[in-house]
Amino acid sequence: MAIPARFTPPKRVLMGPGPSDVAPSVLQALAAPEIGHLDPAFLTLLDELRAMLRSVIGTSNELTVPMSGTGSAGMESCIVNLVEPGDRVLVGVHGVFGQRLAEVARRAGAEVVCVDCEWGRALPVERLEQAAAGRAFKLVCMVHAETSTGALTPIAPFRELADKLCALLLVDAVTSLAGVPVEMDGVGADALYSGTQKCLSCPPGLAPLSFSPRARAVLEARGTPPQSWYLDLSLIARYWGGERLYHHTAPINMLYGLHEALRLALLEGLPERYARHRRLSAALGLGLEALGLRLLVPPEERLPPLTLVELPQGADDARIRRRLLEQHGLEIGGGLGSLKGRAWRIGLMGASCTEQHVLLCLRALTDVLASEGLVEPSPRALEAAGAAF
């Protein structure tokens, strides 16, 4: 075969549902010289990384680590370590990632009770309580920030439900961590997982997760080993803990990058970071509405880092997104599942959450939609966002 030229990626502005843009210092960290995964300097980095990760998650849990793999690996890690064949698991489904939680639990041998709820709305805890019908469960699973819809669901009511059902509470925080408050200990979650490529603005490839002491006790009391050797947290914890016992070769440069991404989040300050996401999401929403587009999630249930917007009537989803990419270098996301072809997902996550990103998105949408005859060519979207700034 002919050897291809060295790959040079095109310059893009990432405003889809992930990955987000990556800060220059994170890219520099990724390119730092390789050292061994048992090098004393690297082990010091791991200790610092875990301490920062606990701060961002809002926990004191000892078992807090970034798993090697994307956010879905974090999901699977939590399920395979906590669920044994025959365990009963309750899953709230209000989007694609609730569906995925249920499927992973089934594959782990669980008896899964799915509660299907409206997409684009927060997950109603009362629906899950009704479906439980007083039965005991091993695990209650909920998606804090549903990436397929941009709906945000409070966690605390699900802690109360889990207590009634004698269950552990598992939380998907893939698109919420570092973009909105999570406060794992404060809300009483037992297991939580996320991904690095969303509001942390680190490339995909690591899945931060945390187990409470109660969840860790369940892991240690298992009658059978987890079905996945690679994701077995009882083994991985021995590398991340004092023993430093080899399990697999850690993704060294990815961990450099996550260390820097966490450092940037804490330097900014978590309250300030959350306020930035709220403020700019509100400005984007005002601009989209001024353009005549409809936001599909009620204001009180919207996830600031991800906005779900309905396509204007007559719009060709794929063509418009292709034109945004080719003519403006802008990536936004299409709909998933029942929203495919009906909605766009526009991300404002981490390094992609700036005034410049908001204005670029509104300018590009106005240009493309106006040229398609779907909106009037007008500066009103930019004016609405600018007034919000």
Domain check: are 373 and 337 in the same one? yes
CA distance 266 to 272: 10
53 close to 66: Cβ distance less than 8 angstroms: yes
Dihedral of alpha carbons 316, 319, 323, 325, sign: positive
Angle formed by the axes of helices 233-240 and 71-82, to 10°? 120
The SS3 assignment for 350 reads: helix
Nearest to 16 by CA among 122, 144, 148: 148
Domain that holds residue 362: 270-388
Q: 188: left (phi > 0), else alpha (psi -120 to 50), else beta?
A: left
In DSSP terms, 343 is beta-bridged to 310
Task: Please state whether the predicted TM-score (pTM) of the whole model is above 0.95.
Answer: yes
For the chain, how many structural domains are there in total?
A: 2
Number of other CB atoms surrounding residue 123 within 10 Å: 25
Residue 222 is which amino acid? R
CB 324 within 8 A of CB 368: yes
Question: Is 286 found in the same domain as 185?
Answer: no
CATH code for the domain of 106: 3.40.640.10
**Same-domain status, 246 and 290:** no
Beta carbons of 298 and 121 less than 8 angstroms apart: yes
Last-in-domain residue among 205, 233, 266: 266
Judge if 251 and 317 occupy the same domain.
Answer: no
Instruction: Determine if the peptide bond prior to 19 is cis (ω within 30°).
Output: yes
335 and 258 in a common domain:
no
Q: Tell whether 166 and 42 lie within a shared domain.
A: yes
**Tens of pLDDT along the chain (389 residues)?**
999 999 999 999 999 999 999 999 999 999 999 999 999 999 999 999 999 999 999 999 999 999 999 999 999 999 999 999 999 999 999 999 999 999 999 999 999 999 999 999 999 999 999 999 889 999 999 999 999 999 999 999 999 999 999 999 999 999 999 999 999 999 999 999 999 999 999 999 999 999 999 999 999 999 999 999 999 999 999 999 888 999 999 999 999 999 999 999 999 999 999 999 999 999 999 999 999 999 999 999 999 999 999 999 999 999 999 999 999 999 999 999 999 999 999 999 999 999 999 999 999 999 999 999 999 999 999 999 999 88
